[in-house]
Amino acid sequence: MKAQLAIIGGGLAGLSLAILEAKAGQQVLLFEKKSYPAHKVCGEYISLESWRFLEALGVPLVQWDLPILKRLQLSSPAKMIDLELDLGGFGVSRYKLEAEMLQLTKAAGVEVHAECEVRAVSAQAKGFLLQTEAGNFEVERAAGSWGRRSLLYKQAPQPHNFVGVKWHLKGEMPNDLIALHNFEGGYAGMSRIEDDLSCFCYLVSSERLKKAGSIPALEQAMRRENPFLEARLNTLEPVWNEPLTISQVSFSPKATSHQGVFLLGDAAGSIAPLAGNGMSMALHAAYLLHLQLEKVRNGQLTESQLVSAYDQAWKKQFKLRTAVSYRIQGLFGRNALTTPLLYSVGALPFLGKQLMKLTHGRDFMPLQT
């Protein structure tokens, strides 16, 4: 089968690009190796910079009456501070959002292949050949939104391994608050999502988890270590029997294309989770790539300029914020460094606001959209 665009990976970036390109009149194929929608290890906070973009795709955010998050709470075992978020965000589960976007994708005419792994992508004279579990497909262009790791883009193992763990909790928690609680070896994020639930998601070094012996033992140690985290968790209880987990969380440098395949979302580069901007970056990257493709179709760019134009647009938007986020993450999960940082930000609130601005963007949809 021939098509104009194949998208490998059905996360937020892949779904967004599929909708945008299909609405632009392109024949689009979307491949996702897992069944979905599905819950994923994710903080489930989206910066308000993406609100109008999602609405433009057709997501009924206003109808969902989602919690709007305007306050940030930061804690270490010895100190807690509260900050106002200039832009803020909203809480929604990946399951709910991707389920809606999947329906919008199909309604736009995209051919979706779920539970279908792409085994190989090879360049041809005019486009690419995709070898998949559903057969072979010839396409003019290919984009990869397969997350942090893929057999299609192998990278050397990173020196430090991290594990992500996520729960959905029920119980009392302010609707406008997102909190980051530090402990030795990691940090945990907590905020409201839909249906009066809270997302509790944390990143921890594999060494700390190995030392604890199990996730339940680790969580008990986290609670004992950070009294602010303990106080919050005392008001909440899990709605799942087991948490979601992901290992070998990678922060290795990446590129915006690989062997001619455009990359977006975490496949192109991820921001430190503590910044809370990963989902907005995925959405924005899809829009950036769509804009470059539109320029080619309108004669503003040549095919030979396309790769460089997308790379420059991506770096202009995300290079600084990802770099700053990793610097901040280097201080988190280390109590000897986190506590002085919180005292400094508490005494100089503008410092905290500046750090937040450096890791976030602005509303990126044109007003006429």
Which has more confidence, 156 or 284?
284
User: How many Cα atoms sit within 13 Å of 118 on the Cβ side?
Assistant: 28
- Specify the pLDDT at position 369: 42
pLDDT at residue 159 above 80? no
| Ordered domains of the chain (ranges, CATH) | 2-64+94-156+252-358 (3.50.50.60)
DSSP string, 139-156: EEEEEE---S-BTTB--P
- Specify the pLDDT at position 285: 97
> In sequence order, what E strands does 40-95 have?
45-47, 68-76, 79-91
pLDDT (average), residues 91-117: 97
Q: Check if the beta carbon of residue 46 is closer than 8 Å to that of residue 55.
A: no
pLDDT at residue 247 above 70? yes
List pLDDT tens digits, range 257-284: 999 999 999 999 888 888 888 999 999 9
Q: Check if the beta carbon of residue 59 is closer than 8 Å to that of residue 66.
A: no
Beta-carbon contacts of residue 369 (< 8 Å; ≥ 6 apart): 52, 56
List pLDDT tens digits, range 184-242: 999 999 999 999 999 999 999 999 999 999 999 999 999 999 999 999 999 999 999 99
Token pair for residue 31? Answer: 């491949």
- Specify the pLDDT at position 139: 96
List pLDDT tens digits, range 1-35: 689 999 999 999 999 999 999 999 999 999 999 98
DSSP string, 306-360: HHHHHHHHHHHHHHHHHHHHHHHHTTTT-HHHHHHHHHHHHH-HHHHHHHHHHT-
**Nearest Cα to Cα of residue 188 among 219, 148, 213:** 219
Question: In this predicted structure, which of 120-134, 179-193, 339-353 has the lowest mean pLDDT?
Answer: 339-353
Strands 79-91 and 197-205: unpaired
What three-state secondary structure class fits 268?
Answer: coil
pLDDT at residue 36 above 90? no
Q: Check if the beta carbon of residue 26 is closer than 8 Å to that of residue 5.
A: yes
Tokens 């992500």 label which residue? 164
pLDDT (average), residues 72-88: 93
**Nearest Cα to Cα of residue 282 among 263, 265, 257:** 265
List pLDDT tens digits, range 283-331: 999 999 999 999 999 999 999 999 999 999 999 999 999 999 988 888 8
Beta-carbon contacts of residue 161 (< 8 Å; ≥ 6 apart): 205, 206, 247, 248, 249
pLDDT at residue 368 above 60? no
**Nearest Cα to Cα of residue 182 among 190, 170, 191:** 190
The conformation of residue 203, written as its DSSP 8-state character, comes to E
pLDDT at residue 140 above 80? yes
d(CA 6, CA 9): 10
Beta-carbon contacts of residue 334 (< 8 Å; ≥ 6 apart): 184
Q: What is the pLDDT confidence band of residue 346, given thresholds at 50, 70 and 90?
A: confident
Q: What b/e string do you get for 282-319 counting C-beta neighbours within 10 Å, with b at 16 or more?
A: bbbbbbbbbbbbebeeeeebeeeebeebbbebbeebbe
pLDDT at residue 51 above 80? yes
d(CA 321, CA 319): 6
Phi/psi at 288 (nearest 5 deg)?
-60, -45
- Measured between alpha carbons, how far is residue 76 from residues 57, 133, 225, 320, 342 in Å? 39, 48, 9, 26, 8
- Specify the pLDDT at position 192: 97
Q: Check if the beta carbon of residue 45 is closer than 8 Å to that of residue 68.
A: no
Mean residue pLDDT across the chain: 93
